[in-house]
Amino acid sequence: MKKLFLSILLILTAYSLTAYSLQPAWATVYYADGDSLGGAASDSNNCTALVTPCLKVQGVINKGLVPGDIVNIRVAEYFERVNLTVSGIAGSFITFQGYLTERPTIVGAEVFSGSWSVDSGSRYVSVNNSITWTPKMMVTRCPTTDVLMDSRNNTSAVNVNNAGEWWYDSVNKKAYAWMPGSVNPSTCSIRFTQLPTSAAGWDGLFFVQADYILIQNINVKYSNAGAIFGGETAGVQGKFLQVKNVDADWTYQAGIKSYKRDYTYFYTNTVNHAVVSHFIEGGSGQPEPMNFGQGDFNVAESNTITNSYFMGCPSIGSADTTSSGNNISINNVCTNVDHATYTNRSWRNRFQNNTVTEGGDNLYISPEPSSVGNNKYNVYVGSTLKGGDSCSRLLTYGATPNKSYNNYIVNNTCYDTDKGFWSQNTSTTLYDNEFKNNIIYGVSGNPVIMAQNGNPSDNDWVKNLHFSTAVSTKYFDQTGN
């Protein structure tokens, strides 16, 4: 496993170094300039110089990119959905990046310019036909911090009766809002998400269906779906998508996600306020703030994920087949995520040296029964996990549950979780997992259960240290102090 881990990192590091250092003679540098900083921007320009830039990123793509091309994006807001289907080649990635030190932002919502009037009390209403699309989110800034308005359970204007609530009237195409602090919405910067128009879970403002692509040094915000989504390439397994130093914020669906792709590398990205759909709609089956789905040899390194409404730091190896695995999550920092990681029907993944605060069932190892596939040979090592429901939870369920076996949970430190290690099932579905050299400790009465195992003889518990100030803790379901 260690040799495989190093091999994957070396492969992706090598491609990272060559992604934009080698530019073939036929390659071109293009420019997009949404605010016409260098010259009058138009998608009819040649877009190959600062003084003749394209207006949109998609305008550059439509010029016909080839391997090795670089797209420099000037600082501005780009209200568009970028759709990329042309690939680079090994050693000649197609690169999209902020120009020099500039940070352009691709947005799925513009600042609302419509007018407001009082409807009743502190509830305001926009004019008819002022919002002709179906927004999934209303994000307001009054005056400096973005706040998500709450539309849960609102089916009419009369339901908007507390500060921070809103409702979209799809018949008259207008919004009702009771602003935070009961202020006049005309004094705030307000965005109603619009793009992508489908608002699907498998979509993004930057949608990649191509290989050997590098995206770096940009922001992606206010998406009606996801931020960056890498899918299949021409209907087959995609490969080599690198996303670096991207700030993804306020997405209704996934933050940064790859699906049916191999050799993906997510590095030093920030994902904040992702998967708002889980907050608004509730339920399960939502996409993750960062995820590798149905892919092999993917790496997430040194990313920061905060205030997301569903699991993933990132989720690794979540799959609908038994062939997905060999993914790595290392040195990520995550706060307020539903679960730190969710391993689902996959094997040989590695979750290492991550720091997680309030991560729910932090190490959630649970193969769903919706299709055949087991969790096996996964390694969870050296992470610090604070708060949440449990340090590690192994669970199988369903009429014919899949299995979790030969997983290795070692050298982790957990504290202030409601439970330590929680293995819920018996030898038929959970067995031969090893818990070794972990430290579990709690204060103020937590954890109540240090280790709970449905059948202790089927898993191996070696040299774990448990400490708590709780009056009555449990170890192997036995009460003790």
Strand, helix or coil for residue 309: coil
Output the six-digit token pair for 391: 């340090």
| Each residue's pLDDT tens digit, 330-352 | 999 999 988 888 888 888 999 99
Over residues 128-150, mean pLDDT: 96
- For 101-110, write each residue's pLDDT tens digit: 999 999 999 9
Strand (E) or helix (H) holding 124: strand 123-126
Bridge partners of 239, per DSSP, are: 262
Residue 228 falls in which region: left (phi positive, over 0), alpha (psi -120 to 50) or beta:
beta
Type of residue found at 310? F
User: What is the per-residue pLDDT for 416?
Assistant: 79
* Nearest residue to 428 (alpha-carbon basis) of 402, 398, 392: 402
CB 468 within 8 A of CB 451: no
The sign of the dihedral angle between the CA atoms of 33, 37, 38, 39 is positive
Please count the other Cβ atoms lying within 10 Å of the Cβ belonging to residue 456.
15
Q: Is the pLDDT of residue 16 over 70?
A: no
What's the mean pLDDT when you consider all of the chain? 87
Predicted local confidence at residue 22, as pLDDT: 56
Q: What is residue 475's predicted lDDT score, i.e. its pLDDT?
A: 60
| pLDDT at res. 21 | 47
Beta strands in 333-464 (DSSP E): 333-335, 341-343, 350-352, 355-357, 361-365, 375-376, 379-381, 384-386, 390-394, 404-405, 408-410, 413-415, 419-423, 430-431, 434-436, 439-442, 449-453, 460-462
**pLDDT at residue 311, rounded to an integer:** 79
DSSP type of residue 48: -
CA–CA separation, 84 vs 65, rounded Å?
10
Instruction: Please tell me the pTM assigned to this model.
Output: 0.92
Q: What does the pLDDT average to over 114-121?
A: 98
What is the enclosing helix (H) or strand (E) of 347?
Answer: none
pLDDT of residue 392: 86
Q: pLDDT confidence of 151, banded at 50, 70, 90? A: very high
**Alpha-carbon span 175 to 169, nearest angstrom:** 6
What confidence category does residue 481 fall into, taking pLDDT thresholds of 50, 70 and 90?
A: very low
CA distance 361 to 196: 32
Task: Collapse the DSSP code of 416 into the 3-class scheme (helix H, G, I; strand E, B; otherwise coil) and give the result.
Answer: coil
* pLDDT at res. 256: 96
Confidence of residue 282 (pLDDT cuts 50, 70, 90): confident
Alpha carbon 365 to chain centroid distance?
Answer: 19
